[in-house]
Amino acid sequence: MQGTGEVRVYSARSTSAPSRKVAGKLGKRKRTLTMDTLVLGVFIAVYLGMILGRIPGLAIDRTGVALLGAIILLGAGALSPDEARDALDVPTMGLLFGLMVVSAQFRLGGFYTAVTRRIAAIDVQPALLLGLLAALVGLLSALLCNDIVCLAVAPILIEGCRRRNLDPLPFLLALACAANVGSAATLIGNPQNMLIGQTLNLSFAGYFARAAAPTALGLVAVWAIICALTRGRWHREFAIPKIDAPTFNRWQCGKGLAVLVLLVVAFFFTALPREVLALAAAGALLTSRRMHTRNMLALVDWHLLVLFAGLFVVNRAFQQTGMLDVTMTWMRDAGAPIEQPAWLFIVAAALSNLVSNVPATMLLLPAATHPLAGPILALASTLAGNLIIVGSIANIIVVDQAERLGVRVSWLDHARVGVPVTLVTLAIAAVCLWLQAPSV
Q: Answer whether residue 227 is part of any domain.
A: yes
Number of domains the chain contains: 1
Q: Give residues with Cβ within 8 angstroms of 6, minimum separation 6.
A: none
Among candidate residues 113, 103, 146, 145, the one with its CA nearest the CA of residue 256: 103
For residue 285, what are the domain limits? Answer: 90-301+322-439
pLDDT for 438: 57
List, for residues 216-228, the tens digit of each pLDDT value: 999 999 999 999 9
Task: Find out whether 180 and 256 touch, Cβ atoms under 8 Å.
Answer: no
Over residues 12-31, mean pLDDT: 51
Q: Which residues of 260-276 are buried (b: 16+ CB within 10 A; e: fewer)?
A: beebbebbeeeeeebbe
Q: Answer whether residue 52 is part of any domain.
A: no
pLDDT for 18: 54
pLDDT for 194: 93
Backbone phi, then psi, for 239, in 5-degree steps?
Answer: -70, 140
Among candidate residues 386, 370, 379, the one with its CA nearest the CA of residue 440: 370
Task: Find out whether 392 and 385 touch, Cβ atoms under 8 Å.
Answer: yes
Neighbours of 353 (CB within 10 A): 20
Q: Identify the residue with better confidence: 31 or 110.
A: 110
Q: Answer whether residue 433 is part of any domain.
A: yes
Among candidate residues 182, 202, 222, 172, the one with its CA nearest the CA of residue 379: 182
Q: Answer whether residue 429 is part of any domain.
A: yes
List, for residues 394-427, the tens digit of each pLDDT value: 888 899 889 888 888 999 999 999 999 999 999 9
Between helix 411-436 and helix 341-355 the angle, nearest 10°, is: 160
pLDDT for 355: 78
pLDDT at 169 over 90: yes
Backbone phi, then psi, for 54, in 5-degree steps?
Answer: -170, 175
Put simply, whether the predicted model's pTM sits higher than 0.85 gets the answer: no
pLDDT for 30: 55
Angle at 224 between CA 218 and CA 225, to 5 degrees: 90
Q: Answer whether residue 240 is part of any domain.
A: yes
d(CA 92, CA 83): 18
Task: Find out whether 307 and 358 touch, Cβ atoms under 8 Å.
Answer: yes
Q: Answer whether residue 310 is part of any domain.
A: no
